[in-house]
Amino acid sequence: MSRNQIDLKFPKFGMMIPIAIILIVFIAKSTETIKSGQAGVLYKTFSGGVAVDEPAMGEGFHFVMPWNKVHVYEVRQQELFEQMQVLSSNGLEIRLDASAWYQPQVDKLGLLHREKGEKYLDRVIKPAIRSAARSVVGRYTPEQLYSSKRDVIQEEIFEETKKILDKQYIQLNEVLVRDVELPPTIKDAIERKLKQEQEALEYEFRIAKAKKEAERQRIDAEGKAAANKILSASLTDKILQEKGIEATLKLSESPNSKVVIVGSGKNGMPIILGNQ
């Protein structure tokens, strides 16, 4: 092989290296891997921007033109923890600790990206739950919030927040009220009142129990008195004599030694003289 032939081959091989590099870069820029629990929104640089009419890109490997971009969103359930200062119905400041479980609506992920953006948590969810909490807590007194209405306000905050977020392409799964903290003086006053009410209920219970026992005893005594009255009215002298004779006959049949004197007792009743 001549020297000129060698010189002609080397330039061709040298030109293939940058082409291969460009090809590798092109392929790398044209792929996107969506991880588990995520979904992607495609942004078409030269043909309309966010692809709102196309389904979100699911988990797995995807080919994308290098001039386009994929915005990846977490679509699993997520948790927001909020500490809020709100006012009760009588104007007292209440601290409310609450959690919200939420996730984007996957079928509307393109609209969420175009209208709210990737910071939708701060732009939409936090303002919504704070607004709902202020509205709901403002309907109740501190005593109601502290004792009997926690489950009620939790459900009402959930319903009001959900109404807002459903229109914002966000799915709200649950709202949990973790703690309601009142000013110390108000909390102590409520606890004292609740203790007094409990003691009053216990006292009323004891009184009611005593009244029932007294009524039971009265009815029992009246029943016994009525029975004795009926028995006394039915025991005439003749019946008593017959009963006495029956008892004498039974005693006379016993093996013990005795002497029976008939008609010598009171009212003509027999007298039994034994050897004991």
Decide if pLDDT at 38 tops 70.
yes
Predicted confidence at residue 36, as pLDDT, reads 92
HSE (side-chain half, CA atoms, 13 Å) at 213: 6
Q: What is the number of other CB atoms lying within 10 angstroms of the CB of residue 177?
A: 21
**Total residue length of the chain:** 276
Q: Which CATH number fits domain 78-182: 2.60.40.10, 3.40.50.80, 3.40.50.720, 3.30.479.30?
A: 3.30.479.30
Q: Model-level pTM? A: 0.60
CA 134 from chain centre, in angstroms, equals: 22
Cβ pair 137, 145 in contact under 8 A: yes
Cβ pair 105, 153 in contact under 8 A: no
pLDDT per position as a tens digit, 245-274? 676 666 666 666 555 555 555 555 555 555
Per-residue H/E/C for 74-119:
ECCCEEEEEEEEEECCCCCEEEEEEEEEEEECHHHHHHHHHHCCCC
pLDDT per position as a tens digit, 179-198? 888 877 665 666 566 556 66
